Amino acid sequence: MVSTPRVILAGEAMLELSARAGGLWQIGYGGDTLNTAVHLARLGCTVAYASALGSDAFSANLRQQWQAEGLDCSLLLTDPARSTGLYSISLDAAGERTFSYWRSDSAARQMFALPDSARLAEALGEAQVLAFSLISLAILPMAGRHLLLDAARKVRAAGGQVVFDGNFRPRLWDSQAEAAHLRDIAIAVASIGLPTLEDEVALGLPDDAQAVAAHWQRLGCAETVVKLGAKGCLLPDGTLVPPPQVLQPVDTSGAGDAFNAGYLAARLAGASPHDAALRGHALAGWCVMRPGAIPPRDGQAPYA
């Protein structure tokens, strides 16, 4: 097996309430960077998750579950005054999701303002591979955003890789312009970019995957893979790679995060972008056929 570098993902993870039959709710966990982190660990990568949780029983249980998945939780700080964020997810007949959030004062927002935050910032800047998303920036106050971006610059300057997913959630931002501005700053420090066409259009770019790729590449992110949902993805060389056919998705909530993990794990192991995209599609396809942002492993899971 090819040895791959340690990956640190920084962002916000939350408790997940998923609607089930009979009006019941199931408690789980999710968050874009966490979803990718767990999939990466299942794929055999060495992965650390960087964030902050509360000191409540739910937070302690989350740590235990993530450690059981193989995540290094040494960069998870504890905020004694705040709790972990919460979101609920309900699905329509086509598997498309609707979210409600309770995260405005979550512990993760303070990850760079806690007593141990200097250690966290230093560890991020020394990462071999650092991954974060536009959501990671959205939940942070401005000082925290600067610290995360500074860490990414240090990683690039030292020859490491920075992975950025332009995951746009309008409700987390004061304005579209603010989100687009921070996205562009993050693009400029990224070595691998994983934008979604739908998000980029919402941020003001043309409804054209080639135009999105050109924007990201112009700002300095050479390896840009534009995710196109059911149509597949556009590779840096302009090749369109379609996904395997999925007849009736059950839950699309973690598809993009699963694709990110499959693609990144393959690239870190030396695979070509085309083969990495196929790995990403396979994992995303498995994920959308099961409920939850991070489905439990089963016999069909493409982790081998």
Alpha helices of the chain — where are they, by DSSP H? 32-42, 57-68, 117-125, 134-138, 142-157, 176-189, 197-202, 209-218, 255-268, 273-288
Amino acid at 81: A
Among the listed residues 72, 257, 275, 298, the single catalytic one is 257
DSSP string for residues in 241-277: EPPPP-SS-S--TTHHHHHHHHHHHHHHTT--HHHHH
CA distances from 267 to 33, 60, 120, 272, 289 (A): 18, 33, 26, 7, 25
Rounded distance between C-alpha atoms, residue 91 and residue 149, angstroms? 34
Rounded distance between C-alpha atoms, residue 183 and residue 137, angstroms? 9
Crossing angle (nearest 10°) for helices 255-268 and 273-288: 150
Is residue 111 within 8 A of residue 140, CB to CB? The reply is yes
165 is an active site residue: no
**CA torsion, ordered 134, 138, 140, 142, to nearest 10 deg:** 100
Rounded distance between C-alpha atoms, residue 239 and residue 212, angstroms? 14
The β-bridge relationship of strands 129-133 and 161-165 is: parallel
Is residue 234 within 8 A of residue 226, CB to CB? The reply is yes
> Catalytic site residues?
257
